């Protein structure tokens, strides 16, 4: 990975993580993942040091891979929808 992470790369990763998190079959996991992603990216928005930005970007990529794996596992062990989900 290049030392300079572009804004477009960060936005693409952010959108990919949000999209993938929407695939969680469990409402609680889905809501938690979306909230954590938004909070983490918002907290990192003001970073200026390229080394820290690169470190945070790599951490986000690892979490994206984790989300993808967890979505697959969640699909294998699907449960009934919660009451809150049936209200939609």
- C-alpha 67/C-alpha 55 separation (Å) is 18
Are the C-beta atoms of 16 and 22 separated by less than 8 Å? Answer: no
- C-alpha 75/C-alpha 61 separation (Å) is 21
Alpha helices (runs of H) in the chain, residue ranges in sequence order: 7-21, 27-43, 50-76, 83-86
7-21 pLDDT, tens digit each? 999 999 999 999 999
21-49 pLDDT, tens digit each? 999 988 899 999 999 999 999 999 999 99
pTM of the model: 0.84
């Amino acid at each position: 990975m290049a030392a300079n992470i572009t804004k477009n790369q960060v936005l693409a990763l952010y959108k990919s993580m949000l999209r993938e998190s929407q695939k969680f079959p469990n409402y609680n996991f889905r809501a938690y993942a979306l909230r954590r992603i938004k909070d983490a990216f918002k907290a990192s928005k003001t970073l200026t040091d390229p080394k820290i930005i690169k470190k945070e970007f790599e951490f986000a990529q690892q979490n994206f891979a984790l989300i993808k794996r967890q979505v697959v596992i969640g699909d294998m062990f699907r449960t009934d929808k919660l009451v809150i989900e049936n209200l939609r």
